[in-house]
Amino acid sequence: MNSKPKIVILGAGYGGLMTASQLTKELGYNEADITLVNKHEYHYQTTWLHEPAAGTMHHDRARMPIDYILDLKKVNFVQDSVVEIKREDKKVILENGEVDYDYLVVALGSEAETFGVPGVHEHAFSKWTVNGVREVKEHIEYQFAQYHNREEGRDELLTFVVAGAGFTGIEFVGELTERVPELCKEFDIPREKVKMYVIEAAPTALPGFDPELVEYAMDLLESRGVEFKIDCPIKEVIEDGVILNNGEEIKSETVVWATGVRGNSVIEKSGFEAMRGRIKVESDLRAPGHDDIFIVGDCALIINEEINRPYPPTAQIALQQAGTCASNIKALVKGGELKAFTPDIKGTVASLGGKEAIGVVGKKKLFGTSASMMKKVIDNRSLYLLGGMSLVVKKGKKPF
């Protein structure tokens, strides 16, 4: 009989992959069986997906085979989709089988939050995955290709609506502003025909960012043709556009949804108590009432005590949680104290497309090219943390 504890990790994003990688360093081959389950045979850099969505980067650059990162002699990799976690039976139901665990790490990432707005799933692009953004890119190009060949509704072909002026919406529209001139040239379309809207329900764009940085970002994007509608909730997404709470209707065949995320639907389906699909974890990252289940990344809810509000879900936090999670699993397997997780926020940088970005690193505000260079350094750092220098060499971005 196999007496080694079975550690099962669900999701090969930042949180799951980093947990697996750390565990292979923390535990010897004879000390545990480690299994990683993921929908695809590759990992993708979710934080880069605004680029392939707009078509400024090929999607293959943002994804990489799992074995670029993990030694698959040390980790049993199962390519399958998680359907449900059966907590009482210590078992995970997959689309094509099931897997038993002694310790489980849930790192399945997030899904779009619609805030109850009707029509999002039916008429908007809301999947921030490799396949999701591939569809966005193809769709945008097709709008340009159709323009001269369709009699009716030509304006909505070239009207692009981004719902949400948070991190993802701003980074996406920044890339789109870079791509549009190229597409106009390619498809013989005057630049002024293209309209780009960013619609935000909150009273400011980039909530939580320093107002000076927000102003810089908005001025820059406006100068590239973006129209902001702030403090302006969307009431409904319809087949050919959006209806705003104030009654205004914007006709568009492309609505990209980026209003925030909720935890993976597997969480609620499995009966965990959750807030917007995220589990408010104990300080050691375990799900309340479950000594054997850890939650990391976007599925975990942790509170910033200073402001008594949840930390926004980020790759930065997911990567850090993975370290604590691996070390706590090691403590359970080999004996030792479990550690509490404390985020160490090093800063936040949002790209605005091209060589432009804004952000804060430490206490320093960054604008323009210096912020853009820092963004690439951060992107490369996440590669380094996941897969060391060899991954940076294979997939890294040039800072200049």
Residues 64 and 395 sit within 8 Å (Cβ to Cβ): yes
Tell me the three state secondary structure of residue 162. strand
Residue 131 sits at the vertex; the CA angle it makes with 128 and 136, to the nearest 5 degrees, is 70
Report the site for ligand FAD in 148-167 (rule: CB under 6 A). Answer: 167
Segment contacting ligand FAD by CB under 6 A, of 33-41, 195-203, 213-221, 363-371: 33-41
* Candidate residues 6, 26, 31, 39; the one interacting with ligand FAD per rule CB under 6 A: 39
Residues paired with 127 in a beta bridge? none
Question: According to the binding rule CB under 6 A, does residue 385 interact with ligand FAD?
Answer: no
Per CB under 6 A, the list member of 56, 76, 146, 314 interacting with ligand FAD is 314
Is residue 218 near ligand FAD by the rule CB under 6 A?
A: no
Q: By CB under 6 A, is residue 197 in contact with ligand FAD?
A: no
* # residues contacting ligand FAD (CB under 6 A): 32
- Token pair, residue 259, equals 């209003």
Q: Which residue has the tokens 């997780």?
A: 341
Smallest Cα–Cα separation from 385: which of 395, 399, 370, 400?
A: 395
Tokens of 321: 């949680």
x/- mask, ligand FAD, residues 43-82, rule CB under 6 A, reads ---xx-xx------------------------------xx
Strand 293-295 relative to strand 103-106: parallel, antiparallel, unpaired? parallel
CB of 334 to ligand FAD, least distance (A): 25
113 given a catalytic annotation = no
Q: Lay out the site mask for ligand FAD across 127-146 (x = CB under 6 A, - = otherwise).
A: -x------------------
Residue 108 touches ligand FAD, criterion: CB under 6 A: yes
Amino acid letter for position 293: I
Tokens of 200: 């935000």
DSSP 5: P
- Closest distance of CB 382 from ligand FAD, Å: 8
Label residues 83-111 b or e (16+ Cβ within 10 Å = b). eebebeebbbbbeeeebebbbbbbbbbbb
Tokens 């081959």, located at residue: 29
By CB under 6 A, name the binding residues for ligand FAD. Answer: 11-16, 37-40, 46-47, 49-50, 81-82, 107-109, 128, 167-168, 171, 264, 266, 297-298, 313-316, 318
Q: Which residues are part of the catalytic machinery? A: 171
